[in-house]
Amino acid sequence: MQKELIKLEHISKSFDGQMVLDDLSLNIHENEFMTLLGPSGCGKTTTLRILGGFVNPDTGKVIFDGADITNVPPNKRHLNTVFQKYALFTHMTIAENIAFGLKIKNKPKSYIDDKIKYALKLVNLEGYEKRMPDSLSGGQQQRIAIARAIVNEPKVLLLDEPLGALDLKLRQEMQYELIRMKNELGITFIYVTHDQEEALTMSDTIVVMNQGYIQQIGSPESIYNEPENAFVADFIGDSNIIAATMIQDKLVEILGARFACVDTGFGTKKPVDVVIRPEDVELVEPECGTIKGVVTHLIFKGVHYEMEVMANGFEWLVHSTVLSPVGKEVGIKVDPFNIQIMNKPESEDEEAIAIEI
């Protein structure tokens, strides 16, 4: 892992008595693409604004490159932000927008001109210097907002739901563009989104947040395959979350049937939650399955069929490329390594905090 660049230490923040962030600590590394992911109101945007300097935390410290910048105003910080609705200066041309930060720093004109050319090339909008922001499409405006930020050579680029206002196709294109830009620039990106697909596609590290707490930090694969609690499992992709009992190491009882799994160390006869991704549920002949059920719903989704199977009192969500018609009796089978066991939270507080870092 690269060296640590930013440390958030025990950050708390409340607005009008409403706790938004509660004792949040987070380390961000050099050259990392980190995504803060969570539903609205989870504190992800507040975290970004604290990093940018637009919001002061009630308690806690922001350490940047070894220095405490908690009380440093935004214009003195070595990071730049790409705002949600672009926030371009509508009274200036594209070139003037991009040059804004450099002019403030009194850079020579030839340097500024070179930088504008370089930035427009990076975001694939060469020749747009004289245009006004209003004459550009949403996607183009977003690229200009990125260009305007990166000409200042920040060590960190903060992106606040930058693709939120774009349509699906453009959003997917921009995801690849962002990855390319990050690799070309070699700087840290901190990205805020509520879109799990965006987070999975682009990030090195995903921080899943809920109600002001970090729920899980990890690579996209580990977040998806090994969610640490029901919230993460539910928020990232579709999943079957079922209350179950851990009989012993590597054996779990789900809805009265015993399934082999790979997890150990949960104790014996311990109530747990299991997560099974819908694509990991196999439908087989009734007699071959661990439990039997009946298909109740069927929807064609393009790449796969989405089915619901009623089995032992639980409606299982199943994704499969093989069609099983409604009313058909099926058996359900799950491979041991596809069953993810999670500790049941014992109180609501614990549910919210869920993990310590």
Partner 1 sequence: MKYKKNILAAPYVLWSALFIIIPLCMIFYYGLTDKSGAFTMENILAIASVGHAKALWRSLLLSLISTILCFLLAYPLAMILAGKKGNQTGFIILIFILPMWMNFLLRTLAWQTLLEKTGVINGILSFLGLPPLRIINTSYAIVLGMVYNFLPFMVLPLYNALAKIDENIINAAKDLGANKIQTFFRIILPLSVPGIISGVTMVFVPALTTFVISTLLGGSKVLLIGNVIEQEFTQASNWHLGSGLSIVLMIFIIINMLVTALLEKE
Specify the residue, 105 or 269, whose C-beta has the smaller distance to partner 1.
105
Which residues ranging from 296 to 355 are in contact with partner 1 (CB under 8 A)? none
Neighbouring CB atoms inside 10 A of 298's CB total 16
Task: Work out which of 60, 100, 270, 335 binds partner 1, going by CB under 8 A.
Answer: 100
The smaller minimum CB distance to partner 1, of residues 104 and 288, is found at 104
Should residue 13 be labelled a site residue for partner 1 when binding is judged by CB under 8 A?
no
Residue nearer to partner 1 on the CB measure, 142 or 211: 142
Q: How far is the CB of 156 from partner 1 (least distance, A)?
A: 12
Per rule CB under 8 A, is residue 89 in the interface with partner 1? yes
CA–CA dist 47, 95 (Å, integer): 31
Of 53 and 220, nearer to partner 1 (C-beta) is: 53
Q: Would you give the binding string for partner 1 spanning residues 113-132, x where CB under 8 A is met?
A: --------------------
In angstroms, give the least distance from the CB of 138 to partner 1: 15
Structural tokens at position 111? 């340097």
52 binds partner 1 (CB under 8 A): yes
Separation CA 339–CA 284 (nearest Å): 17
Quick check: 248 binds partner 1 (CB under 8 A)? no
Shortest distance, CB of residue 146 to partner 1, whole angstroms?
12
The answer to whether residue 81 forms part of the interface with partner 1 (CB under 8 A) is yes
Task: Please tell me whether residue 80 binds partner 1 under the rule CB under 8 A.
Answer: yes
Contacts 24+ apart (CB under 8 A), 301-307: 304/279, 306/278, 307/283
DSSP annotation of 50 reads H
Q: If DSSP codes are grouped into helix, strand and coil, which group holds residue 31?
A: coil
Amino acid identity for residue 198 in this structure = E
DSSP letter at 183 equals: H
Smallest distance from partner 1 to CB 119, Å: 13
Token digits for 294?
């009946």
* Among 104, 243, 288, 357, contact with partner 1 (rule: CB under 8 A): 104
Q: Stretches 33-41, 100-108, 192-200, 258-266: which one binds partner 1 (CB under 8 A)?
A: 100-108
- Site for partner 1 (CB under 8 A): which residue of 3, 18, 66, 75? 75
Q: Write each residue from 135 to 164 as x if it is in contact with partner 1 (CB under 8 A), else as -, in one continuous string.
A: -------------xx--x------------
105 binds partner 1 (CB under 8 A): yes
Closer to partner 1 by CB, 83 or 314: give it.
Answer: 83
C-beta of 87: minimal distance to partner 1 in Å? 4
Choices 35-43, 83-91, 251-259, 267-275; region in contact with partner 1 by CB under 8 A: 83-91
- In the chain the beta strands, taken as DSSP E runs, fall at 4-15, 18-29, 33-37, 59-64, 67-68, 79-82, 156-160, 188-193, 205-210, 213-218, 240-248, 251-254, 257-260, 270-276, 281-284, 291-300, 305-311, 314-320, 329-334, 340-343
Q: What residues contact 249, with CB distance under 8 A and at least 6 apart?
A: 263, 264, 265, 266
**Integer CA distances (angstroms), 27 to 5, 10, 63, 71, 140, in order:** 8, 11, 9, 19, 32
Using CA atoms, how far apart are residues 134 and 122, in angstroms rounded to an integer?
Answer: 21
* Contact call for residue 166 and partner 1 (CB under 8 A): no
Helix intervals (H) in the chain: 44-52, 94-104, 109-122, 138-150, 168-185, 196-202, 220-225, 230-235, 348-353
Is the Cα dihedral 212, 216, 219, 223 positive or negative? Answer: negative
The residue among 44 and 148 lying less far from partner 1, judged by its C-beta, is 148
Number of residues counted as binding partner 1 (CB under 8 A): 24
> Which positions touch partner 1 (CB under 8 A)?
52-54, 73-76, 80-81, 83-85, 87-91, 100-101, 104-105, 148-149, 152
